């Protein structure tokens, strides 16, 4: 009996299905290798490009946590490791530089910023014929931060910082070209002028130019009268907006509050005696300030007078005769130098900027800047006028922040963020108090200067030139 031996079966007798199966297997194997090769061509370059930067970010995040935990050396070591993976990353470089500056290693911090700026501006200039440096919004921001470190180094060495002026020449040139400054929102423009003024003041150079920038900052948001007397003029602006909308009774309520406050400020201004300790420049500025205040106050009185007329017209009732011993708003305005015949409420402009919370928060900083410049120039009486308002406003803002936090703490999702915000507000108060203490010392008001320094310590800061 014969048996079946597949090895003896000739090719033509073998089942065709086996040959096709082998072919399919080879084709699938080839496709797998092709896919693997294609994936390698895509994934490997992407991994080479992105993996180092991702590792750098992880290292820096760890460094940031260590820095927050006051583990300074561990944070710097991790920062070095992060830069080993991505040494040209501007965010890693500037954060390291800022940490070094906090440790007082200003030369190292400044070196990092200068090298980074050189690299960034040179890279931007590539391909532009005849250009060695091209600035951008980012490099301009870096230059402003560099000025802080330049100033701190100068303070540490008890010197002026001429480099700060040179940096601001570059910054100004960039804003002038392309008319960029006019493209800024109003408050950002005011902040730019204020930053220039303050950094020049801290550098102790070009104080006249610094004062000019400080005044420009205040003018951008309405002028120094609006900033020095923002509390009553806030009510004026609310009342004026209500008047324009023909809501005369709410307008009257706000104008009554404004007039009451402005009357007290006017009385205080008139009681300021420019003694022999006042310099000629200070006397001139005070006279100008009083004149501007009186013109504005007179216009507010005439606006209230017209508001009264509108309310009477609406009610169609008999006019209430004024007390024989009481001056009318028209009479008071005339004494202040404002004639009602030349006043049209519809054409008067009292603005609305003070109705913005951000503007209210900015005003103390702007007044602090100018007050500090006045102090540096030896105009101590003018300095105190600005700094008194700045301290009161910033202390009030901090108190309001604490009150809100007291009742809303249970709603806060990120308490660390709120603590940082509170710390910034407290630092602003401390800086302004330090500047005022210097002006008090300069005017021999030693007890007041001492109280300001004690308050600075209560806030958790040390009164020193490095507090800025």
Q: Do residues 398 and 294 lie in contact, with contact meaning Cβ atoms separated by under 8 Å?
A: no
Degrees, nearest 5: CA angle 115-120-121: 100
Residue 411 to residues 87, 263, 397, 407: CA-CA distances in angstroms? 41, 42, 20, 9
pTM: 0.84
pLDDT of residue 348: 81
pLDDT of residue 349: 82
Domain boundary assignment for the chain: 43-220, 224-350, 357-458
Q: What is the CA radius of gyration of the chain?
A: 34
Digits of tens for pLDDT over the chain (468 positions)?
444 344 444 444 444 445 454 555 545 555 565 555 555 555 445 444 557 888 889 989 999 999 999 999 999 999 999 999 998 999 999 999 999 999 999 999 999 999 999 999 987 656 565 566 789 999 999 999 999 999 999 999 999 999 999 999 999 999 998 789 989 999 999 999 999 999 999 999 999 999 999 999 999 999 999 999 999 999 999 999 999 999 999 999 999 999 999 999 999 998 887 888 899 999 999 999 999 999 999 999 999 999 999 998 887 655 555 544 557 999 999 999 999 888 988 888 888 888 888 998 999 999 999 999 999 999 999 999 999 999 999 999 999 999 998 888 888 888 888 898 999 999 999 999 999 999 999 999 999 999 999 999 999 999 999 898
Q: Which of 394, 410, 339 is nearest to 362 (CA)?
A: 394
pLDDT of residue 47: 46
Residue 310 to residues 305, 314, 344, 399, 458: CA-CA distances in angstroms? 9, 6, 14, 39, 52
CATH of domain 43-220: 1.25.40.10
Q: Around Cβ 283, how many Cβ atoms within 10 Å? A: 14
Angle at which helix 380-408 crosses helix 280-315, to 10 degrees, equals: 50
């Amino acid at each position: 009996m014969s048996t079946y031996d597949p090895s003896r079966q000739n090719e033509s007798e073998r089942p065709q299905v086996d040959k096709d199966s082998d072919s399919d297997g080879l084709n699938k194997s080839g496709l797998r290798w092709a896919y693997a090769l294609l994936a390698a061509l895509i994934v490997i370059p992407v991994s080479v490009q992105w993996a180092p930067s991702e590792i750098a970010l992880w290292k820096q995040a760890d460094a940031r946590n260590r820095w927050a935990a006051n583990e300074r050396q561990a944070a710097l070591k991790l920062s070095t490791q992060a830069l080993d993976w991505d040494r040209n990353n501007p965010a890693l470089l500037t954060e390291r530089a800022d940490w070094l500056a906090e440790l007082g290693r200003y030369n190292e911090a400044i070196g990092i910023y200068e090298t980074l700026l050189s690299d960034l501006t040179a890279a931007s200039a590539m391909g532009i014929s005849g250009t060695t440096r091209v600035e951008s919004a980012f490099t301009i921001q870096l230059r402003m931060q560099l000025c802080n470190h330049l100033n701190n180094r100068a303070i540490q060495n008890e010197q002026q910082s001429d480099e700060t002026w040179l940096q601001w020449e570059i910054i100004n040139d960039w804003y002038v070209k392309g008319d960029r400054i006019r493209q800024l929102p109003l408050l950002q423009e005011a902040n730019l002028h204020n930053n220039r003024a303050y950094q020049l003041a801290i550098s102790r150079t070009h104080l006249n130019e610094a004062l000019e920038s400080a005044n420009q900052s205040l003018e951008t948001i309405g002028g120094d009268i609006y900033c020095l007397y923002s509390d009553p003029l806030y009510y004026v602006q609310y009342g004026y907006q209500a008047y324009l909308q023909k809501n005369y009774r709410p307008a009257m309520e706000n104008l009554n509050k404004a007039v009451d406050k402005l009357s007290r400020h006017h009385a205080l201004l008139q009681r300021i005696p420019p003694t022999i300790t006042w310099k000629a420049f200070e006397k001139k500025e005070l006279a100008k300030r009083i004149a501007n205040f009186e013109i504005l106050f007179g216009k507010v009185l005439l606006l209230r007078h017209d508001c009264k007329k509108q309310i009477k017209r609406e009610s169609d009732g008999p006019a209430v005769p004024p007390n024989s011993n009481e001056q009318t708003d028209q009479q008071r305005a005339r004494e202040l130098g404002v004639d009602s015949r030349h006043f049209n409420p519809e054409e008067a402009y009292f603005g609305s900027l003070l109705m913005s919370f951000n503007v209210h928060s900015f005003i103390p900083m702007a007044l602090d800047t100018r007050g500090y410049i006045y102090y540096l120039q030896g105009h101590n009486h003018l300095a105190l006028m600005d700094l008194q308002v700045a301290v009161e406003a910033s202390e009030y803002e901090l108190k309001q922040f604490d009150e809100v936090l007291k009742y809303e703490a249970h709603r806060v999702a990120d308490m660390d963020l709120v603590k940082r915000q509170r710390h910034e507000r407290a630092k602003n108060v401390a800086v302004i108090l330090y500047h005022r203490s210097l002006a008090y010392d300069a005017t021999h008001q030693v007890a007041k200067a001492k109280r300001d320094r004690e308050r600075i310590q209560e806030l958790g800061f040390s009164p020193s030139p490095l507090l800025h």
